[in-house]
Amino acid sequence: MSRLRTALERYVGMRQGLGYKYDGPARRLSEFVTFMEARSAEAITTDLAMEWVTSMGRQPSWSIRLADVRGFAQHLAHFDPLTEVPPSDAVPPARRAKPYIYCDTEIQALLTAALSLPPANALRRWTYHCLFGLIAVAGLRHSEALDLLRDDIDLEQGILIIRETKFGKSRLVPLHATTVAILSDYAARRDAHLGTPRSPYFFVAEQGGRLLHQYVHRVFWRLSRQIGLRLEGQRDGPRIHDLRHRFAVQTLINWYRAGEDVERELPVLSTFLGHANVRDTYWYLSAAPELMNHAVRRLDKRWEARS
């Protein structure tokens, strides 16, 4: 085993010992070490690091690979003076996708269109109606909604249990009574349709198996074209994930309109969404013109009070 490979195992063990899953970075750094071993290189140099970073794919993958190598190199530099840390601006930063903020009419059209999915007597239409609706009203990541187990939804208490998601965090999500009623109705339809449960998941495919991500996206794209949110053959456009963005933005707008102290309430929204850091929630302030206007007016009032 090479010296770099041994150092990588210690580094990954340290990161995971601090509570990070670190699966993706560990996999990419293992590929980087394989690249270095093929060149008989025992120390990280900027030239070799950048050769690997730019050897596959294109932006935004380059910036992700660069961040992985920089973290590893910064760690090694404490023990090996020959280690070079590539500069953070060696590749252009990845651009975060601009969210599409659905209006109420568009969400309602999407949910209504889901109820028209064929066949008429199947569970499928109710599954997608409730799945997309839950994401919209609870601000879930779509992977979180698909991963929900029957035992994760307490319909009596109106609570969702979101387990070990993106940042290894679990959280409780309270549900409105109207949402509980709709989910209860879906559960009754599902059980009547299937008889004996065939999987532990709350939302299931027609034969009771797990819903697969690729099929969920295909149905979403079909419905989006049907209601005019996407053109036929259009590759970009509103996403399922934008339902979560809409929830966050609408929550902030409602707080501003109600005169709430949004800065004080942001950690609440951050916890509700399962963000690792409240700064990730601050990003939503720039996601909608109305939010920016509210934030600017609040800032102006602060400056006026100080002057």
169 is known as an active-site residue: no
217 is known as an active-site residue: no
Amino acid letter, residue 30: S
Q: Which of 142, 230, 284, 294 is an active site residue?
A: 284
Give the span between the Cα atoms of 90 and 64, in whole angstroms.
Answer: 12
Q: 201 with 150: CB under 8 angstroms?
A: yes
Give the span between the Cα atoms of 144 and 152, in whole angstroms.
Answer: 11
Task: Measure Cα distances from 37 to 5, 48, 60, 77 in Å.
Answer: 9, 11, 25, 18
Task: Measure Cα distances from 216 to 121, 178, 212 in Å.
Answer: 19, 24, 6
Q: Which of 244, 245, 246, 294 is an active site residue?
A: 244
166 is known as an active-site residue: yes
Beta carbons within 8 Å of 244's beta carbon, 6+ residues apart: 135, 139, 140, 141, 142, 273
244 is known as an active-site residue: yes
297 is known as an active-site residue: no
Q: 172 with 260: CB under 8 angstroms?
A: no
189 is known as an active-site residue: no
Task: Indicate the SS3 state at residue 149.
Answer: strand
Q: Which of 166, 176, 218, 302 is an active site residue?
A: 166
Q: Which of 75, 190, 275, 294 is an active site residue?
A: 275
Q: Which of 75, 141, 142, 245 is an active site residue?
A: 141
- What positions carry a catalytic annotation? 141, 166, 241, 244, 275, 284
